[in-house]
Structure 1
Amino acid sequence: MAADRPEGVVRLGHRPLIVSDVDEVALEFLTPFKLFLESRQHRLVPRSFRLTGNIIDLNNGEAASEAAVKALLDAFYDAQEQWQTPAAQVVKTLAELSTEADIVFLTAMPPRHAARRRALLDALGLPYPLLASEEPKGPLVEQLHGGRELPVVFIDDILRNLHSVRDHAPSCLLINLMANAEFRALAPVPGRGIHAAADWAEAAPLIRGHFRRWAPRN
């Protein structure tokens, strides 16, 4: 297995599958990341829907370089348990959905941070299997689902991930969810076949509706 491939084994039951991103979907990311940056003499300025170019070094007033942004992200993930908290209603919503579906977290982060993320999710009451990978998410969701004739749902804040899953798992319900309202307002329009949800209260009925519409196969 290549070093950047997700580790671990996920065993699914004969139930619908929900695959959820973590940052900005299950866990608050931008709000705690802004606080983290302030502690490192940087500031995140919401001028566009991206990090690089919008993180300002308060020592010189200049935008942090791409390499500096990557280093700040690595430092944040090394201390994520000190900063990140659950997104609104996620613990309750996923606990309820877990009675009728399998849930897997698919997080776009270097796998070296996965153990810290696993410990944080467990501590917050989000014990569902976790895969950490920097690969495109579409093939990973396709592999997870395995062509089963059961409903599958994918939830993410980044459109390229939703588009990737749309290309590789066309039967999947796609939900664009982002916890931070300030940056959500800067995000591109989701586009064809992608449902927007402001939070888990809006996402849950979409998911249950998808389950109900799925005709049983005999």
Structure 2
Amino acid sequence: MSDDPETARQIAELAADTRPLLVLDVDDVLLEFLRVFPNFLDQQGFELKLRTFKLTGNIIDKVTREEAPVAKVREMIDDFFGNQADWQPLTEGAADALASFGDAAEIVLLTAMPHKHRDARRLHLDALGLPYPLLTTEAPKGPAVRRLRGQTDRAVAFVDDIPHNLVSVRRAVPDAHVFHMMGDDEVRALLDPLEEGMHHVASWADAAPRIAEALGIPRGN
């Protein structure tokens, strides 16, 4: 696994920190995605029919009933993220859960998306009251989390909805506590079982106390 040079540059801008590290995905962890993306597709004349856990091959033209070509899928995803502030609300409980950790942990957001959308996502997160450092990556997430940890043995927790991101982090940081956040049982049924040592959480009410325990930090009220 290799570093994304732009992600490495973003990490280098952060101040050194020795607190327990909590790294969070954004889509379907902090911001709604799968629940709202179909509404966006509907306005484009398409619908989402999840038969496998991926977008390509599962976006259908409502008139022709044909699968959208890969290039069209990428174009629509790009348009969606360009206008994310119009579509993506906070995941229920996310802001309060993070606030409950106070200053006991370093919280960093790591989102897999084209770097060109970083500014738009930064503005949207700020408007929603999530001012935590934001990193974008176009490469596997494991190397970024390893770089974030630095030359320390501080505890690390990572939350994501995509299993291969959990695998990437576990390969790069073997002692990281990794949590798979997925509240939709029908979507979760499309996934292979999690690897041993990976923990499923259905919501922030479920996740917050388990993250705090993993990082050895107290939570506020």
Same fold (TM over 0.5): yes
Q: Residue 164 of structure 1 is aligned with which of 159, 168, 183?
A: 168
Report which stretch shifted further, 200-209 or 177-186.
Answer: 177-186
> Would the alpha carbon gap of residues 117 and 142 (structure 1) be closer, same or farther in structure 2, given more than 3 Å must change?
same
Cα distance in structure 1, aligned partners of 2:190 and 2:47 = 17
Deviations 1:95-149 (A, max 9, x none): 1124310100000000000000000000011110000111110011000101312
Deviation at 1:194, TM superposition (A): 0.6
Q: Residue 121 of structure 1 is aligned with which of 116, 122, 125?
A: 125
2:88 is paired with a residue of what secondary structure?
coil
Corresponding residue of 2:98:
94
Runs (4+) of structure 1 exceeding 4 A deviation are none
Question: Unaligned 5+ residue runs, structure 2?
Answer: none
Deviation at 1:4, TM superposition (A): 6.3
Q: Residue 27 of structure 2 is aligned with which of 6, 23, 39?
A: 23
TM-score by length of 1: 0.92
Corresponding residue of 1:68:
72
Deviations 1:192-216 (A, max 9, x none): 1110000111111211111239xxx
Corresponding residue of 1:5:
6
Q: Provide the aligned C-alpha RMSD in A.
A: 1.7
Q: Residue 200 of structure 1 is aligned with which of 204, 207, 211?
A: 204
Query: Which amino acid letter does the alignment assign opposite residue 84 of structure 2?
Result: Q
Corresponding residue of 1:209:
213
Question: Unaligned 5+ residue runs, structure 1?
Answer: 214-218
Q: Residue 156 of structure 2 is aligned with which of 152, 172, 176?
A: 152
Q: Confirm or deny: 8 A CA contact 2:183 2:201 kept in the other structure.
A: no
Corresponding residue of 1:36:
40
Q: Confirm or deny: 8 A CA contact 1:5 1:135 kept in the other structure.
A: no
Deviations 1:163-203 (A, max 9, x none): 11101101110000124444233222112111000011111
TM-score by length of 2: 0.90
2:135 is paired with a residue of what secondary structure?
strand
Structure 1 position 57 matched with structure 2 position 58: no
